[in-house]
Amino acid sequence: MSRAVLRREPDDRIEVLGPDGSVVAPDLVPDLDEETLVSIYRDMRFCRRFDERMISLQRQGRMGTYSSLAGQEGSQIGSTYALADDDLIAYQYREHGAVAGRGMPWEYLLYWMGHEHGNAVLADVDVFPLNITIGDHLPHVVGWAWAAKLAGDERVGVAHFGDGATSEGDFHEALNFAGVFDVPNVFFCNNNQWAISVPRDRQTASATLAQKATAYGFEGVQVDGMDPLATYAVTKAAREKALRPNDDERRPTLIEAVQYRFGAHTTADDPSVYRREEEVEEWKRKDPIVRFESFLRERDLLDDDRIEAMEAKIEETLTTLVERAEGYEADPSEMFGHTYEEPTARLVEQRDYLRRLRETYGDDALLERE
């Protein structure tokens, strides 16, 4: 089935579940056990609640600027479940679901609270540090995949990015290199229709983003990104293709997951300025959580009691994550590290000045002094 999934025209959008949760492509339904299906739903529901909680923390001044994932749970969780636990994930900044699918260490929240330590711990779950600059991580994950291929390491490098990143030079350079050297990459484009306030149709004159893969010599496929089963099936097929034993068949893949972000680009954005509420409501009728819940209820895998117990556990987990993150005591001197291999005289002077202030006034008094 995996080869058939990818053997489509780039504008032939793959869908397993209809908006109401009914199966529209029985031959593409992944062979997943009941426990895994429920786990996918639980993680999607966790992501939605995580999103709401993080936005609330930001509004209270307890967290920095945050990028909402609401509406994109299906693509993030579905694609991550299709990977091996040690496949490498490189993400942009909205794919919190990819981190959740890897267990989400509590330190992840630290990054959004201003502590770089929250980025470093992601290496423990085979996730590249968060990338803010649009598209810059794409050449890096291709380099990692090329090294993995040369070393005979049977792992895949998966790069998440948005539709806006396809307008960046790094996108072209990364995919061109991947195509020339047949590296084990899966390029996962989260086309959520808007790059901040710029609509998808202003990014490119191409009919689809998936078809851009043709220029680099490998396959592109378009999938319903709000359908977790479809994104699972497509990602699994792409992973298998990247690791085929025959070198002539081992190829990267570009996946365009068509979806929508329900909220603002970030907590610093006001989407009402550039898009209509009617458009948002139209896409919400395809809510990935609602449609997948309908699918599971139809198979007696979910009911109100199970969902209530699931929600209670999610709240407990979120409370623990927030409490641990807010209880973290940062060392301000860390801001002077990792800028240069050896600190410059100017950095040493600034670091020593801060140390003297802390010794004289203490951290709390220093904040009041500011």
- CATH architecture observed for domain 2-326: 3-Layer(aba) Sandwich (3.40)
The domains of the chain are located at 2-326, 332-369
Tell me whether residue 96 is one of the annotated catalytic residues.
Answer: no
Average pLDDT score over the chain: 93
- What's the CA gap between 196 and 76, in Å, rounded? 19
316-325 contact pairs (CB < 8 A, 24+): 317/46, 318/46, 318/49, 318/50, 318/53, 320/106, 321/104, 321/106, 321/109, 322/53, 322/57, 322/109, 324/106, 324/109, 325/106, 325/107, 325/109, 325/110, 325/113, 325/118
Is the predicted pLDDT of residue 173 greater than 60, yes or no? yes
Tell me whether residue 261 is one of the annotated catalytic residues.
Answer: yes
- What's the CA gap between 57 and 341, in Å, rounded? 35
Is the predicted pLDDT of residue 9 greater than 70, yes or no? no
* Catalytically annotated residue among 94, 251, 265, 291: 265
What digits encode the pLDDT tens for the residues 325-353? 999 988 888 888 878 889 999 999 999 99
Tell me whether residue 115 is one of the annotated catalytic residues.
Answer: no
* Catalytically annotated residue among 274, 276, 285, 369: 274
What digits encode the pLDDT tens for the residues 250-280? 899 999 999 999 999 999 999 999 999 999 9
